[in-house]
């Protein structure tokens, strides 16, 4: 293993992909090293997306209502649950299949009938192996707590991203799915907000699949927020806490929330998508980034 890929980076990479600790062994280090070298993000991942004091609600199987507890978000969220849970049907869990073993990669969401938005750091290192048939990827638009059914479509290609060394902050990728190879269900693209008119204090929510935390997380915080249930589809409300080049927010997330759409509570439109964390906030890129690159690369 090269000196440029240290054990600490491999552990962080493993946590970000939510892979089993048993996968990090001498037989698999070449695979991890290849991911780091191809994507160039081994030194910037931390797997430390923030869990705050905001709740995170596991979504029930579709056609079943989400019943909120009597907490601080109950009154504000309840009128918007029909549109938010409808939007959740377009958010899926990305899974990597290699040598017959499946592992969770992150979150993606439908922006065109056969095009999914996710983070570059989830798929950049997998593009070549996918193209060569060494691995397969799929996205499952179910994944709710207690739902054994699936709604999975194969990913046929990692269509577009800008390499990390060219645009370090552009953590965006588009992947293509084969709708004909999945179930005959009407999964609709999410609607992008038409403009970036977010303000500090605006109420938003993420919808994604927070994964089992790695060793870098505070055990009490994630146990309180997630109740020991991970890897299922969740709605996590919060507020915009700052707007710089990133949209800063305090929705509760974990590794696995990468790629999650951030929705305006009132319109259920995508206003941003989650990419990681800073010292005191989670970070997202605004929806205009998706609009711009969608128009430029997929007219």
Q: Are residues 231 and 281 in the same domain?
A: yes
User: Is there a domain that residue 47 lies in?
Assistant: no
DSSP H helices in the chain: 7-16, 29-39, 74-77, 81-88, 120-123, 127-131, 219-226, 287-297
In which domain, by residue range, is 97 found?
91-181
User: Is there a domain that residue 270 lies in?
Assistant: yes
Contact 136, 292 (CB under 8 A): no
In the block, tokens 């084969």 appear at: 178
The domain boundary residue, chosen from 155, 181, 207:
181
User: Is there a domain that residue 78 lies in?
Assistant: yes
Q: Are residues 153 and 199 in the same domain?
A: no
- The CA angle 162-169-56, to the nearest 5 degrees, is 110
User: Is there a domain that residue 298 lies in?
Assistant: no
Q: Are residues 177 and 203 in the same domain?
A: no
- Quote the pLDDT of residue 106: 93
Average pLDDT per 10 consecutive residues for the chain, totaling 299 residues: 40 46 43 43 39 80 88 94 96 93 92 97 93 96 93 97 92 97 95 91 95 60 68 94 92 89 97 88 94 95
Contact 222, 55 (CB under 8 A): no
Tokens for 294, please give them: 């969608």
Q: Are residues 219 and 76 in the same domain?
A: yes
Question: Distance between CA 100 and CA 122 in Å, rounded?
Answer: 20
Contact 73, 55 (CB under 8 A): yes
Question: Distance between CA 211 and CA 62 in Å, rounded?
Answer: 21
Q: How many domains does the chain have?
A: 3
Domain with 132 in it: what CATH number?
Answer: 2.40.10.10
User: Is there a domain that residue 299 lies in?
Assistant: no
Q: Are residues 81 and 224 in the same domain?
A: yes
| Residue 150: its H or E element | none
**Bridging pattern class, strands 261-264 and 282-286:** unpaired
Q: Are residues 105 and 168 in the same domain?
A: yes
Q: Are residues 29 and 161 in the same domain?
A: no
Q: Are residues 13 and 146 in the same domain?
A: no
Q: Are residues 133 and 152 in the same domain?
A: yes
Q: Are residues 164 and 121 in the same domain?
A: yes
Q: Is 3 exposed, middle or buried (0-12, 13-18, 19+ CB in 10 A)?
A: exposed
User: Is there a domain that residue 73 lies in?
Assistant: yes
Q: Are residues 68 and 147 in the same domain?
A: no
Entry pTM = 0.82
The domain boundary residue, chosen from 181, 211, 236:
181
User: Is there a domain that residue 75 lies in?
Assistant: yes
Residue 140, helix vs strand vs coil: strand
User: Is there a domain that residue 261 lies in?
Assistant: yes
DSSP characters over 28-93: THHHHHHHHHHHS-TTT----PPP-SS--EEPPPTTSPPPPPSSTTHHHHGGGHHHHHHHHTTEEE
Q: Are residues 246 and 171 in the same domain?
A: no
């Amino acid at each position: 293993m090269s000196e440029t890929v240290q054990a600490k980076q491999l552990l962080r990479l493993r946590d970000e992909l939510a892979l089993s600790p048993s996968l990090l062994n001498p037989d698999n280090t070449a695979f991890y090293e290849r991911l780091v070298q191809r994507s160039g993000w081994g030194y910037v991942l931390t797997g430390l997306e923030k869990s705050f004091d905001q709740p995170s609600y596991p979504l029930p199987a579709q056609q079943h209502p989400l019943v909120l507890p009597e907490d601080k978000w109950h009154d504000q969220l309840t009128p918007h649950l029909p549109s938010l849970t409808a939007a959740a049907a377009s958010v899926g869990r990305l899974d990597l299949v290699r040598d017959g073993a499946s592992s969770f990669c992150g979150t993606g969401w439908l922006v065109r009938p056969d095009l999914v938005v996710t983070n570059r750091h989830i798929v950049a290192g997998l593009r070549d192996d996918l193209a060569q048939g060494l691995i397969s990827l799929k996205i499952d638009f179910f994944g709710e707590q207690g739902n054994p059914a699936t709604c999975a479509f194969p990913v046929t290609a990692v269509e577009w991203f800008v390499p990390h060394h060219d645009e370090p902050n552009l953590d965006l990728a588009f992947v293509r799915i084969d709708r004909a190879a999945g179930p005959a269900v009407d999964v609709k693209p999410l609607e992008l907000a038409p403009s970036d008119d977010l303000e500090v204090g605006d109420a938003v929510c993420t919808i994604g699949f927070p994964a089992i935390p790695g060793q870098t997380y505070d055990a009490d915080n994630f146990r309180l927020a997630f109740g020991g249930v991970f890897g299922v589809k969740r709605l996590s409300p919060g507020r915009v806490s700052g707007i710089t080049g990133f949209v800063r927010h305090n929705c509760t997330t974990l590794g696995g929330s990468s790629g999650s759409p951030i929705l305006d509570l009132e319109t259920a439109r995508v206003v941003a998508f989650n990419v990681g964390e800073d010292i005191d906030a989670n970070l997202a890129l605004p929806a205009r980034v998706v609009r711009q690159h969608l128009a430029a690369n997929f007219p």
